């Protein structure tokens, strides 16, 4: 028998290339605890960012999932059994499908082995939590003793360490799910320009991530309404339904303190006595307080609460999210001080520091 040497060589090279080519698919081999695996109707679900991807029954304490390797995504494996509460966060875990073979022990707590990026995400989370609670005892003691300024100084130093860790982690992992996790953490503390610069260094899946872009929009709006910016109009109604707007108060020659609040917001209600006391202290120096009611479940909740709490200042009752989106408000109470010319002078999330802020401008 004669052989074509060139053909044989080509076939050998093709085989060698195929044998050395990395696989593009992963296999998850999972194990469930004996007791749970015997519950009739037990199922395991594979869930992606957009919802369920696959499901399988537990057979002989085991389950298997297959899919395409993708180091940019985090997937969730969850055990469901009859009677399970939908808020039960046991017997589930997340992983990054970054290698061919991954093992999951779906116990409580669940464990994942074989995935380097999943391991790195776990270590990053652990390091972040260790930094967050590093001086918890000291902060608690200082707060109990009334030294909130020193407690806040330590807390801010902890946040700075977390930001440094997150920045380093992100810049070293801009092409995978760990990088996305790290930059999400940075959205808590950085302003829009810094976040825009960091996002520009990310891979396409990070730069085009809809959730990150939505968060960025909030930050951009907050930046656009930071100190020195002209006020953005707010329109709404009074308690009796008459039209009113922020322009009825801001830019009229007085300092205007806008308090963004909701009836269901405990911290908002707790801040009311201090707000009333500060209003009374500074009203003769030109301070005008205007409440901005937001995020109510029912239109009548805001006016009812204002009457019950004795809010004897002007209030603009709003609906929808346009107002809070325009000012990049992520939580309430948010307090924004407008200068006599209608520009933003300062802003706070929460009442801490409000006394000092008003004294800075009105004393």
5 has pLDDT over 60: no
Quick one: pLDDT band at residue 148, thresholds 50, 70, 90? confident
In a domain, 214, yes or no: yes
Q: Are residues 160 and 265 in the same domain?
A: no
Whether residue 331 is contained in a domain is answered as yes
190 and 242 in a common domain: no
Question: Above 70 in pLDDT, residue 266?
Answer: yes
| Residue 131 is assigned to a structural domain of this protein | yes
Is 302 part of a structural domain of the chain?
Answer: yes
- C-alpha distances (whole Å) from 83 to each of 37, 86, 105 are 14, 9, 21
pLDDT at 92 over 80: yes
* Arithmetic mean of pLDDT over the chain: 90
Rounded to an integer, the average pLDDT of 282-299 is 96
Answer yes or no: is 15 within a domain: no
Looking at the fold, whether 54 and 135 belong to one and the same domain comes out as: no
| Residue 152 confidence class, pLDDT cut points 50, 70, 90 | confident
> Average of pLDDT values for 219-233?
96
| Predicted confidence (pLDDT) per residue in 292-308, tens digit | 999 999 999 999 999 99
- Asked if residue 6 has pLDDT above 50, the reply is no
pLDDT (tens digit, 9 = 90+) per residue, 14-67?
A: 444 444 445 589 999 999 986 777 778 888 999 998 899 999 998 888 999 999
Q: Does residue 341 share a domain with residue 240?
A: yes
Q: Are residues 239 and 358 in the same domain?
A: yes
Is pLDDT above 60 for 2?
A: no
State residue 89's pLDDT score.
Answer: 67
**1 has pLDDT over 50:** no
**SS3 string of the chain?**
CCCCHHHHHHHHHHHHHHHHCCCCEEEEEEEECHHHHCCCCCEEEEEECCEEEEEEECECCEEEEEEECCCCCCEEEEEECCCCCCCCCCCEEEECCCCCEEEEEECCCCEEECCHHHHHHHHHHHHHHHHHCCCHHHHHHHHHCCCHHHHHHHHHHHHHHHHHHHHHHHHCCCCCHHHHHHHHHHCCCCCHHHHHHHHHCCCHHHHCCHHHHHHHHHHHHHHHCCCCCECCCCEEECCCCCEEEHHHCCCCCCEEEEEEECCCCHHHHHHHHHHHHHHHHHHHHCEEEEEEECCCCCCCHHHHHHHHHCCCCEEEECCCCHHHHHCCCCCCCEEEEECCCCEEEEEEECCCCHHHHHHHHHC
pLDDT reported for residue 87 = 62
**Residue 7: inside a domain:** no
Which of the residue ranges 185-189, 227-231, 235-239 would you say has the lowest mean pLDDT? 185-189
Question: Lowest mean pLDDT: which of 109-113, 178-182, 229-233?
Answer: 109-113
How many C-beta atoms lie closer than 10 Å to residue 22's C-beta? 7
Is the domain of 257 the same as that of 287? yes
Residue 110 inside a domain? The answer is: yes
Please give the pLDDT value at position 136: 86
* Count of the separate structural domains present in the chain: 3
Q: CATH code at 334?
A: 3.40.30.10
Q: Are residues 181 and 109 in the same domain?
A: no
Same domain, 264 and 353: yes
pLDDT at 20: 43
Q: Is the pLDDT of residue 7 over 80?
A: no
On the question of pLDDT at 216 being above 60, the answer is: yes
Same domain, 312 and 257: yes
**Domain presence at residue 5:** no
Identify whether residues 96 and 141 lie together within a single domain: no
Same domain? For 177 and 269 the reply is no
Query: Given 196, 224, 252, which residue is the final one in a domain?
Result: 224
CATH number at residue 49: 2.60.40.10
Domain boundary among 92, 114, 136: 114
Residue 9 has pLDDT above 50, yes or no: no
Q: Which domain holds residue 52?
A: 21-114
pLDDT band at 362 (very low <50, low <70, confident <90, very high): very high
Structural domain ending residue among the three candidates 224, 245, 274:
224
pTM of the prediction?
Answer: 0.79
Same-domain check for residues 219 and 248: no
Q: Do residues 221 and 328 make contact, with C-beta atoms less than 8 angstroms apart?
A: yes
């Amino acid at each position: 028998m004669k052989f074509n040497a060139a053909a044989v060589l080509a076939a050998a090279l093709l085989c060698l290339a195929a044998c050395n080519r990395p696989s593009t698919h992963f296999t998850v081999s999972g194990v469930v605890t004996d007791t749970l695996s015997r519950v009739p109707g037990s199922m395991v679900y594979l869930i992606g960012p957009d919802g369920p991807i696959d499901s399988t029954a537990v057979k002989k304490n085991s389950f298997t999932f297959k899919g395409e390797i993708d180091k940019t995504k985090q997937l969730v494996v969850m055990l469901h059994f009859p009677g399970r509460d939908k808020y039960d966060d046991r017997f589930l875990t997340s992983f990054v499908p970054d290698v061919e073979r991954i093992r999951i022990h779906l116990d409580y707590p669940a464990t994942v082995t074989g995935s380097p990026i999943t391991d790195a995400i776990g270590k990053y989370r652990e390091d972040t939590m260790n930094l967050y609670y590093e001086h918890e005892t000291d902060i608690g003691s200082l707060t109990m003793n009334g030294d909130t300024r020193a407690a806040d100084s330590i807390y801010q130093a902890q946040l700075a360490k977390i930001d440094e860790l997150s920045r380093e982690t992100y810049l070293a992992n801009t092409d995978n799910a760990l990088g996305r996790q790290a930059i999400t953490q940075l959205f808590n503390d950085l302003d829009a320009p810094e976040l825009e610069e960091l996002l520009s260094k990310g891979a396409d899946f990070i730069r085009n991530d809809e959730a990150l872009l939505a968060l960025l929009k909030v930050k951009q709006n907050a930046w656009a309404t930071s100190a020195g910016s002209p006020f953005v109009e707010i329109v709404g109604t009074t308690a009796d339904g008459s039209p009113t707007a922020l322009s009825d108060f801001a830019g009229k020659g007085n300092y205007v303190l806008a308090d963004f609040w909701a009836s269901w917001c405990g911290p908002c209600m707790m801040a009311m006595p201090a707000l009333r006391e500060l209003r009374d202290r500074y009203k003769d120096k030109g301070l005008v307080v205007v409440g901005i009611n937001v995020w109510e479940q029912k239109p009548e909740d805001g006016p009812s609460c204002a009457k019950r709490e004795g809010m004897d200042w002007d209030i603009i009752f709003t609906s929808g999210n346009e107002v809070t989106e325009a000012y990049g408000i992520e939580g309430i109470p948010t307090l924004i001080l407008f200068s006599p010319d209608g520009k933003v002078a300062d802003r706070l999330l929460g009442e801490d520091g409000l006394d000092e802020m008003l004294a800075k401008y009105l004393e």
